[in-house]
C-alpha cells in the first residue's frame, strides 16, 4: 500500500513538473504569468454517515496539478489521502447467535482518492480570488479494527465525487505563488465490512489549507 501511494505521488509530481517546465519556457517568450500551478494542502476531514472512525482528524494531505485553460477555467489532476481514528472502550459484541466478543477497539479508516479536478474562478484580476470546483475519480478505502492482539480489515475500490468552494490568495500581482483555502464535501461508493457491520458508501466534509506554486 505504501508503495502504491508513493507511485501515485511521484507520478503526479513528475506530471506537474513537466507541465510547469513547458509552461515556464513558453511564458518566458510571450506571457509573464504562469498558467500551470501545483497546490499542496494540509487537510482536515470528518466522516459523516458512519460511526466507524468518525472523529475529525488532520491526518491528511492533498496534491493538485492545475493548468489555466482560460483566465477563469483550470483543469488538472489530484491525489489525496486521509486517515481517521477512533478508540472504542471495552464492550461485548454479538457476532452471531452463538458467538460473542468482549474487547475494546482501535478503529482506523484510510482513504485515497485520485482523479481529475476542475476549478472555475469567480474573478480574474483580484489577488484574492474565490472559486468553485469539483473532483471526480476513484477511491481506495481500507477500514481496520484492532482488538487485543488481533486485527480485522477490509478494503475496497469505489467512484469518488467531491464539490468544493475555496479562495486563492496571491500576495504579489504576478501570482507566481500564493495561499489556498478550500472547504469540501465528498462521496465515494466504496462498500467495506467491519467488525460491527457493513459500510455502504462514505460521506466526508472538511477543509484544506495550503500553498500554490
Tens digits of per-residue pLDDT, 168-211?
A: 999 988 888 999 999 999 999 999 888 777 888 899 999 999 99
Contact 90, 102 (CB under 8 A): yes
Instruction: Pick the closest to residue 110 from 183, 209, 190 (CA basis).
Output: 190
Would you give the end-to-end CA distance of the chain in angstroms? 28
Contact 167, 8 (CB under 8 A): no
CATH value at residue 188: 2.40.160.20
Q: Does pLDDT of 21 surpass 60?
A: no
Beta bridge partners of 64: 39, 78
* Integer Cα distance of 187 and 21 in angstroms: 34
Contact 186, 162 (CB under 8 A): yes
Weakest-pLDDT range from 101-115, 129-143, 181-195: 101-115
- C-alpha distances (whole Å) from 88 to each of 55, 112, 162 are 12, 24, 29
Which residues span the domain enclosing 208?
A: 2-212
* Burial (CB count <10 Å: 0-12, 13-18, 19+), residue 168: buried
Q: Who's near 197: CB < 8 A, 6+ residues apart?
A: none
Q: Is 148 left (phi over 0), alpha (psi -120 to 50) or beta?
A: left
Q: What angle do CA 103, 104, 105 make, to 5 degrees?
A: 120
| Residues 73-102: tens digit of each pLDDT | 999 999 999 999 988 877 776 666 766 767
**Cell, residue 136:** 471526480
In the prediction, which pLDDT does 26 show? Answer: 38
Average pLDDT over residues 119-141: 95
In the prediction, which pLDDT does 189 show? Answer: 96
**Count of domains in the chain?**
1
* Integer Cα distance of 78 and 115 in angstroms: 6
Amino acid at each position: 500500500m505504501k508503495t502504491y501511494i508513493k507511485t501515485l505521488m511521484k507520478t503526479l509530481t513528475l506530471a506537474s513538473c513537466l507541465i510547469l517546465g513547458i509552461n515556464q519556457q513558453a511564458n518566458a517568450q510571450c506571457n509573464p504569468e504562469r498558467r500551470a500551478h501545483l497546490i499542496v494542502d494540509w487537510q482536515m476531514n470528518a466522516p459523516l454517515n458512519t460511526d466507524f472512525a468518525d472523529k475529525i482528524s488532520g491526518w491528511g494531505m492533498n496534491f493538485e496539478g492545475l493548468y489555466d485553460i482560460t483566465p477563469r477555467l483550470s483543469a488538472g489532476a489530484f491525489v489525496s489521502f486521509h486517515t481517521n481514528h477512533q478508540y472504542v472502550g471495552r464492550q461485548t459484541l454479538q457476532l452471531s447467535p452463538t458467538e460473542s466478543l468482549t474487547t475494546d477497539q482501535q478503529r482506523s479508516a484510510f482513504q485515497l482518492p485520485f482523479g481529475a479536478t476542475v476549478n472555475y474562478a469567480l474573478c480574474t484580476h483580484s489577488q484574492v480570488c474565490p472559486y468553485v470546483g469539483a473532483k471526480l475519480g476513484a477511491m481506495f478505502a481500507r477500514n481496520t479494527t484492532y482488538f487485543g492482539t488481533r486485527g480485522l480489515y477490509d478494503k475496497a475500490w469505489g467512484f469518488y465525487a467531491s464539490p468544493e468552494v475555496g479562495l486563492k490568495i496571491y500576495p504579489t500581482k504576478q501570482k507566481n505563488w500564493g495561499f489556498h483555502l478550500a472547504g469540501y464535501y465528498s462521496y465515494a461508493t466504496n462498500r467495506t465490512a467491519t467488525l460491527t457491520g457493513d459500510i455502504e458508501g462514505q460521506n466526508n466534509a472538511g477543509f484544506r489549507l495550503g500553498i500554490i506554486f
